[in-house]
Amino acid sequence: MASVDLNQEPPPFSIGEARKIVGGELFKYNALIYWTDFLLCWFVGFCSYAHARTYAAKIYLADFEQNWQMQGIIIPESSSTLWLCYLGTTLLACVLYYRIAMFIHEIVHMRGHNLIAFRFIWHVLCGIPFLIPSFIYHTHLDHHRSKHYGTERDGEYLPLGQRPPWQIVAFMLHPFIVPPLVFIRFLFLTPIAWSIPNFRLFVHQRCSSMIIDPFYIRPTEPDAARRRMYIQEFFCFLWLLTLVSVVFFTRNTLPWPFLIQSYTTAVILLTLNALRTLGAHRWSNDEGQMSFEQQLLDSVNYPDSPIIGELWAPVGLRYHALHHLFPAIPYHNLGAAHRKLAANLPEDNIYNQTDAKTLTEVLHDLWQRAKASTTATSDGDIS
């Protein structure tokens, strides 16, 4: 990865030139790709999760007799084999569930009547059951506003490259606490917010955004956006209420295998996304508004190792710098757009400085910069 100094103003970048190179065809959505990718991943992921649940029930000796026969799965008696099957199906389910969950990134960028049916089915099969309705991610659009990026109005940015390393560690711990908080938000806070206006404001500002800045306050939105939020959170509440009611009226104990498997899956998904987030930017801005060129250089592309890259940065997210350049390009065309730009822009163009070889390289660089920043701050205090 090329060394980037965001303290110096980079040379101007021509968006118009880049737009001519990319062309208009790559901005068109291919509905067949969206439907095939999503439904196939959802089906295989669902089957893998069901198998993992069955193996978990066997391992934890809970509800096994009534579940395994219904699943039609041959359960190995060897403990080591059972654990291998459990881990394998769990990881497969997590990778595929992570991929379908990340379609939320595509959905919030869609405009007008683009793939309306797809957006609806995504909510039915993923957004509502996973408790990630698209309204919680609409603040992502502020991350793409030039005047907001990297400022206090951008809930998806923290200058981690300028902060002590412990803040990176603290950020990586959030996947362990978010799942129960999301459960509380939709099952308990939602109905309270419906009846108490002031609490509604608190829930809107502090508990309704998928962000990384814990101090971010979600701004007020138009009536249409609020109605969409109310509808989506109602169905999340209804989904959780149904699950809790089924457990309460049909069981004498908590469904521990289901709870453990659900929590484990959520933690793995959130951890993958946290690692992807750390690798998406250089996180170097701590000085207010940035120029567009600085924003571009602060973002990272991973054009190499497409198979591994799609595991930790699915649905085109490994082309994050390109996405910030052209947010309207659908994920299935990002690779082609990147190849066009790399082949036709001058080698010294700043876009070609956004590439990185591996995620580990970028994470190591982030950690080293955070350490150096802490050392520099300490030396400054001593002097």
- Higher confidence at residue 64 or residue 37? 37
- What is the Cα–Cα distance from 213 to 153, expressed in whole angstroms? 10
Q: Is residue 338 part of a domain?
A: no
pLDDT value at 255 more than 50: yes
* pLDDT at site 11: 85
Residue 36 — pLDDT band, cuts 50, 70, 90? very high
- Residue 378 pLDDT more than 80? no
The amino acid occupying position 70 is M
Mean pLDDT rounded to a whole number for the chain: 91
- Is 271 inside a domain boundary? no
CB-neighbour burial class of residue 150 (10 A; exposed 0-12, middle 13-18, buried 19+):
buried
Distances (CA, A) of 6 to 162, 283, 290: 12, 10, 9
Residue 66: the pLDDT is: 45
Residue 101, domain member (yes or no)? yes
H or E element, residue 49? helix 31-59
> What single string gives the DSSP state of each residue in 359-373?
HHHHHHHHHHHHHHH
For residue 41, is pLDDT > 50? yes
Cβ atoms of 281 and 157 closer than 8 Å: yes
Residue 177 has pLDDT above 90, yes or no: yes
**Better-predicted residue by pLDDT, 163 or 59:** 163
The predicted pLDDT at position 380 comes to 60
Q: Is the pLDDT of residue 72 over 60?
A: no
- Token pair for 72: 């039609």
pLDDT at residue 305 greater than cutoff 50? yes
Please tell me which of 73-82, 242-251, 261-270 the model is most confident about, judged by mean pLDDT: 261-270
178: confidence class by pLDDT, cuts 50, 70, 90: very high
Whether 332 is covered by a domain: the verdict is: no
Q: Does residue 56 lie in a domain region?
A: yes
Residue 15 confidence (pLDDT) above 50: yes
Domain coverage including residue 58: 31-132
**What is the reported pTM?**
0.92
Lowest mean pLDDT: which of 32-46, 121-135, 245-259, 272-286?
A: 245-259
pLDDT at 369 over 80: yes
pLDDT at 318: 97
Model confidence over 340-368: pLDDT tens digits?
Answer: 999 999 989 999 999 999 999 999 999 99
Q: What is the DSSP letter of 10?
A: P
42 part of a folded domain: yes
pLDDT interval class at 227 (50, 70, 90): very high
Q: 18 pLDDT exceeds 70? A: yes
Round to whole Å and give the CA distance between 161 and 283: 5
| Long-range CB contact pairs, 330-338, < 8 A, 24+ | 330/27, 330/28, 330/29, 330/30, 330/34, 330/106, 331/106, 332/30, 332/33, 332/34, 332/37, 333/26, 333/27, 333/28, 335/303, 335/306, 336/26, 337/22, 337/26, 338/301, 338/303
Q: Inform me whether the pLDDT recorded for 329 exceeds 90.
A: yes
User: How many structural domains comprise the chain?
Assistant: 1
The answer to whether 323 touches 106, Cβ cutoff 8 Å, is: no
Spatial neighbors of 83 by CB under 8 A, at least 6 apart, are 59
Residue 21, pLDDT above cutoff 70: yes
| DSSP 8-state symbol, 382 | H
Res 38 pLDDT > 60: yes
Domain membership of residue 380 (yes or no) is no
pLDDT value at residue 382: 52
Task: Place 6 in a pLDDT band, splitting at 50, 70 and 90.
Answer: low
Contacts of 73 (CB under 8 A, 6+ apart): 51, 54
Query: Is the per-residue pLDDT at 87 higher than 80?
Result: yes
Does 6 fall in a domain? no
Contact assessment for residue 96 and residue 41, using Cβ atoms and an 8 Å cutoff: yes
Q: What is the DSSP string of 265-292?
A: HHHHHHHHHHHHHHHHB-----SS---H
Phi, psi of 299, deg, nearest 5: -105, 160
